[in-house]
Amino acid sequence: MSLLRRLTLTLAIALLAAGPAAAQSVLRIGLNDDPDALDPTISRAYTGRLVFAAVCDKLFDVTPDLKIVPQLATGYEWASDQKSVTIKLRPGVKFHDGEPFNAEAVKFNIERHINTAGSFRKPEIGQISSVDVINDTTVRFNLSEPLVPLLAALTDRSGMMVSPKAAKALGDKFGTRPVCAGPYRFVERVAQGKIVFERFPDYWDKANIHIDRVEFVPILDSTARLASLRSGDLHMIERASPTDLPEIRGDSRLKVSGVPELGYQMIPLNVANGPRAKTLSDVRVRQAIDLAIDREVLIQTVFNNEYIPGNQWISPTSMYYNAKLPVRKRDVAKARQLLKEAGQPSLTFTLIVPPERDRQEAAQIIQAMLAEAGITMNIQTQENVTMLTNGRKGDFEAYFTFWSGRPDPDGNVFTHNTCKGAQNDSRYCNAEVDALLTKARQTPEPADRKKLYDQATEHLLRDLPRLHLWHRRVFTGYNAKVTGFTPYPDGIIRLRGLKLN
Amino acid sequence: MQLAVFVARRLAVLVPTLFFVSVLIFSLQKLLPGDAAIALAGEESDPAVVAGIRAKYHLDQPVVVQYGLWMSRVLRGDLGDSLRNKIPVTELLASKLPVTVELAVCSMLVALVIGIPTGVLSAVRRGTPIDVAANAVALSGLSVPHFWLGIMLILLFAVKLGWLPASGYVPPWEDLGRNLTTILMPSFVLGTGVAGVMMRHTRGAMLQVLSADYVRTARAKSVPERLVVLKHALRNALIPVITLGAIEFGRLLSGAVLTEQIFAIPGFGKMLVDGVFNRDYAVVQGVVLVSAGLYVVLNLLADVLYFLANPRLRGA
């Protein structure tokens, strides 16, 4: 008994000792999952990008309306043939280990991104054939082909600059102790537990950094994550679920922001990928499926109108959206007629859906809508990686996936719809679309690019290799004590200007 | 001396058991549909990148070769690096082990403190309202889903009352007070589940022992009832409870998936689930191998405990 009493006493004392935190300000951000390696060259998880915002600055950043602005760079200039771009660098910038950031460091980083085995950046910037160091604060990237979207890649992980000295010393373990030039420097990481950063005293823009420490805490369960926000254990949560919104809005200590995402939710249809393409290879069949879906009702019933119905590879809020081709009204009669013309009046196909609430519920609504047009859609649940593997192999008729989106329109459409595109699981191939999308890559002027994309969209909406259904909003829930927060469509939380009162 | 032979014999069985486990986890994992290289490549699924990953992690080799490569490193104490975050698996395991052990020990404490006394009480007061109440508590501990109880506790103690933190584990050597506050709710959730099982078994064993001849003899010799129950009966009734305790403790050590997720505790369970979803073979293999090892060792310890507790086994 005395042991128990002693234990109770210890516990009581411990509870009392767990008093107020230290005077340092600590911002705790809840993540939806645990990021992979914190090395910009081999990172791929979305959540990693949220963490990089603390530790690694990039050559460029985007504004909330997706304009490209300098960060570690100060400016750029395209050559007249778009085959090289000259970039001016910010002078006096230091990495966390005290090493200088300069043209040599940029050359090292670009070459590291391209030459490291297993680099995920190579597909983004592999067209950089060489880097010339012009002087300490000027570099020139020479390209193997004109590629305007390159600059947008430099606003993300491809543009992140790590300390060459640390990268050489740590080798492929760099991701366990990242050393960059961002506002915060790495302290520790407890896998599946937390990632801790402290303010970097020599940061080039330190006047705009107000919080001493930042901790990223992965919590997979959305209810538990929301509870942690409400209890004050977390100050911010990324990608809050639409089902969390009533609770957040009902709590006066909390705030929520929502901006349209860059990407889209979609169903690729098997047009020509292996023997299973047979069912949906006729364009009229694909059009019929498209016409039988009522996107407005879908968004209303499943997402309480918090998301945005869509029909293109970019959200209606973007300048690259083709406004002449808005979301069409549902037309069941027309759908039936198209099926009859195609000789498949009682079409049956299978949609693969991962075990995830949003897409499962949407699939059921779509199933009911298609039934009204005489289409039987079977739902087959497959775990995500299995589904994507089958997508690659062509072992599908239709599957339910999404694209997280890129700031440059090219990243949303090129590899998905060109004949040889890496993301083109449908194996859709249209020479005109290929030509238009390739031309757009070589055209720097946004107004000229828009014309090319508008034409490509016309083809894509007629041929329908994939059904674009909706665009989520990126919701960020945060404590009212957090001020100075600006939401971005990429969902990444910028720490510059953020205050904790 | 007999004990030494006994232990040696059991240890000899351990080697083939672990070998079998290693083959099993390795092959089961390969049976998972879904390509690890595609899982690793994620959205940037350029075929060249996928092929590069496959070559880098020997995923293009025959399964037997992959197993051989893995086993030869395991025997040298190297469980490989996590495919996902490049941290050595041994390092990951070492960082999770104290967390998981702490959670398991605290949960076991909760289970013992609740389970055994209620079990004894309901056996002694069989058929009375106390027995019924104890049974009801035990059954609800068993049947309430952990994730539900966890969320309810968080909503009450963290959100509503603000007494305890909702999530975020802090190691004891960093801040003992905060450590205990973070471990309290998850231990309770896990402990009540185990307590129900412990209570039922203690009750059953006690009922059996209380009707045994020697207990009747003790009573006939007018030994005080308190002594009869606690000294004569309970000690003998504990043998099946020890077995059960070892099994339950082993289960707790292999990670409490849902509870760890809800309270954001970085233990074995969370690591395992993340590993499976990301097709992080090295992590899954490491966790399962170590958990299986712990489990086997715990069973061995339980056997040794019987051996000490039950003189009859020594002759066998």
Tens digit of pLDDT for each residue in B157-196?
A: 988 888 888 887 888 888 888 889 889 999 999 999 899 9
The region of weakest confidence among A29-33, A91-95, B277-281 is B277-281
The answer, yes or no, to whether residue A333 has pLDDT greater than 60, is yes
Mean pLDDT comparison of A105-109, A446-450, B185-189, highest-scoring range: A105-109
Residues of B in contact with A384 (CB under 8 A): 34, 277
Which of A423, A369, A430, A434 lies closest to A399 in space, CA to CA?
A423
Chain A hits for B147, CB-CB cut-off 8 Å, are 221
Judge whether B277 is closer than 8 Å to chain A, CB to CB: yes
Q: Which range has the top average pLDDT, A142-156, A448-462, B20-34, B84-98? A: A448-462
Q: Report the C-alpha gap between A229 and A481 in whole angstroms.
A: 12
DSSP code at position B169? -
* ipTM above threshold 0.90: no
Asked if A227 and B166 come within 8 Å (Cβ–Cβ), the reply is yes
- Chain B residues with CB-CB distance to A237 below 8 A: none
Q: What's the pLDDT at A423?
A: 87
Which residues 185-204 of chain A have a CB within 8 Å of chain B? 190-194
Q: Which letter does DSSP use for residue A324 in this model? A: T
Tokens of A393: 């192999």
Structure-model confidence comparison of residues B255 and A140, the more confident one: A140
Please judge whether A11 and B53 are an interchain contact, meaning their C-beta atoms are less than 8 angstroms apart.
no
Q: How far is CA A64 from CA A10, A241, A487, in A?
A: 51, 21, 7
Three state DSSP letters for A440-461: HHCCCCHHHHHHHHHHHHHHHH
DSSP string, A382-436: --HHHHHHHHHHT--SEE-EEE---SSTHHHHHHHHSTT-TT-TT----HHHHHH
CA dist B191 to A14, B105, B107, B168, B187, Å?
20, 9, 4, 19, 6
Helix (H, G, I), strand (E, B) or coil at A27: strand
What digits encode the pLDDT tens for the residues A453-476? 999 999 999 999 999 999 999 999
Please give the residue of chain B at the shortest CA–CA distance from A228.
B166
> Which CA distances in Å does A292 have to A76, A89, A328, A376?
48, 53, 10, 12
pLDDT band at residue B211 using 50, 70 and 90 as cut-offs = confident
Q: Judging by DSSP bridges, how do beta strands A138-143 and A398-399 pair with one another?
A: unpaired
pLDDT above 70: residue B1: no
B45 — pLDDT class (breaks 50, 70, 90): low
Rounded Cα–Cα distance for residues B12 and B9 (Å): 5
Contacts of B277 in chain A (CB under 8 A): 383-385
Residue B154 CA to residue B163 CA, distance in Å, equals 10
β A482-483/A254-260 pair status: unpaired
Residues A192, B270: C-beta atoms closer than 8 Å: yes
3-state secondary structure of A465: coil
For chain B, the average pLDDT equals: 83
pLDDT at site A349: 97
Cβ contacts of A202 within 8 Å, gap of 6 or more = A94, A98
Higher-confidence position of A83 and B42: A83
Q: What residues of chain A lie within 8 A of the CB of B85, using their CB?
A: 34-38, 175-176, 191
Range of weakest confidence among A288-297, B45-54, B90-99: B45-54
Whole-angstrom Cα distance, residue B198 to residue B117? 10
Instruction: Give the closest-approach CA distance of B295 to chain A in angstroms.
Output: 23
A39 CB within 8 Å of a chain B CB? yes
Is the predicted pLDDT of residue A4 greater than 70, yes or no?
A: no
Task: Compute the distance between CA of residue A119 and CA of residue A175 in angstroms, rounded to an integer.
Answer: 13
Average pLDDT score over chain A = 91
Q: pLDDT of A238-248, one tens digit each?
A: 999 888 899 99
Question: Residue A268: phi, psi to the nearest 5?
Answer: -70, 135
Radius of gyration of chain A (CA): 25
Q: Do A217 and B167 touch (CB under 8 A)?
A: yes
Count of CB atoms within 10 A of residue A332's CB? 16
Give the pair of three-digit tokens for residue B3: 């004990």
Give bridge partners of residue B21 from the DSSP assignment.
none
Query: Residue B274 and residue A34: Cβ atoms within 8 Å?
Result: yes
